[in-house]
Amino acid sequence: MISFSHVAVVYDSHRVLHDISFKVEPGQFVFLVGQTGSGKTTLLRLISMDILPTKGIVTVGKYSSRGISPRELPFLRRTLGTVFQDFKLMGDRSVFDNVAFTLHVTGTKGTEIKKKVMHTLADVGLTHARNMRVQELSGGEQQRVAIARAFVHNPLVLLADEPTGNLDPGTSAEILQLLFDINTRGTAVIMATHNYELTRKAKQRILRLEEGGVRQVEKA
């Protein structure tokens, strides 16, 4: 479903990724690990085609980085859900409106939006905060709003960039469990993290970014 073939990314003559090849199948759960600056965010941005590879090809479903037109971009992105490292929430809107935005974009009916958003907010434990403005929430609460917005529309793939970055170990475990739950419902999840504790205990597939290349970590 997602495939990277000899992908390289160079930012202003600074090479971040080189010769990356891997595949992610529908419904898989993948940890993407690597030191800070190793290119995890860059790799996720390649999947949502926010940037295009300098070399090689990225394909996501029926879309290819070679042939995609600006017109097709929104439709590719609707098959994905992204939890951005910096959240990218709309700070001047309510929690409800932030999560509902993903559904408004696709022209979903109002009653359906309400139902889905309330379900999703219950899943992340933010029902009580639905009318609060995002600016008024704590970092951890904002993180959960970002997750809710990313999976409210049942995407094929959830891209989570450091979704436990701002959280204490207990809450981190809860979030991770939430991502596992979303995964069991059929959504493939790619989670970037440098929290080795989390990945060590898990039995999911791990991709490690090292010196611009990717290495599959085999579990014993």
Partner 1 sequence: MSISYTLRESFSGFRRAKISSLLSIITVCISLLLLGSFVAITVNAGRLVDALRARLEMEAFLVEPATEGEIDSLVTAVSSLRGVENVLFISKDDAVRIFKQEFGEDITTVLDFNPLPPSLKITLTPQYRTSTGTQEVYDRLVAMRGIESVVYRKALLELIDKRAAGLNKVMLTLGLIISLSAIFLVSNTIRLAIRAKQSLIQTMELVGATRGFIRLPFLLEGSVQGLCGGLLAAALLAGLLGYGARLVSAEFAPYLRMAPAFYGGLVCAGILLGFAGSIISVVRFVRPVAAH
Ligand X SMILES: Nc1ncnc2c1ncn2[C@@H]1O[C@H](COP(=O)(O)OP(=O)(O)OP(=O)(O)O)[C@@H](O)[C@H]1O
Binding site for ligand X (CB under 6 A): 11-12, 14, 16, 34, 36-42, 85, 194
Chain centroid to CA 166: how far? 16
How far is Cα 197 from Cα 219, in angstroms, rounded to an integer?
15
Of 30 and 146, which has the nearer Cβ to partner 1?
Answer: 146
- Contact pattern from residue 44 through residue 83 relative to Mg ion, giving x for each residue in contact according to CB under 5 A and a dash for the rest: ----------------------------------------
41 binds Mg ion per the rule CB under 5 A? yes
| Smallest gap from residue 137 Cβ to partner 1 (A) | 17
Buried b (16+ CB within 10 A) or exposed e, 193-209: bebeebbeeeebbbbbb
Give the residue among 28, 16, 33 at the shortest CA–CA distance from 193.
33
| Smallest gap from residue 32 Cβ to partner 1 (A) | 18
- Contact pattern from residue 29 through residue 48 relative to partner 1, giving x for each residue in contact according to CB under 8 A and a dash for the rest: -------------------x
Question: Using an 8 Å Cβ cutoff, are 185 and 123 in contact?
Answer: no
The helix/strand/coil state of 131 is coil
Of 33 and 99, which has the nearer Cβ to partner 1?
Answer: 99
- Contact pattern from residue 70 through residue 99 relative to partner 1, giving x for each residue in contact according to CB under 8 A and a dash for the rest: x--xxxxxx-x-x-x---xxx-xx------
Strand-strand pairing, 63-64 and 55-60: antiparallel
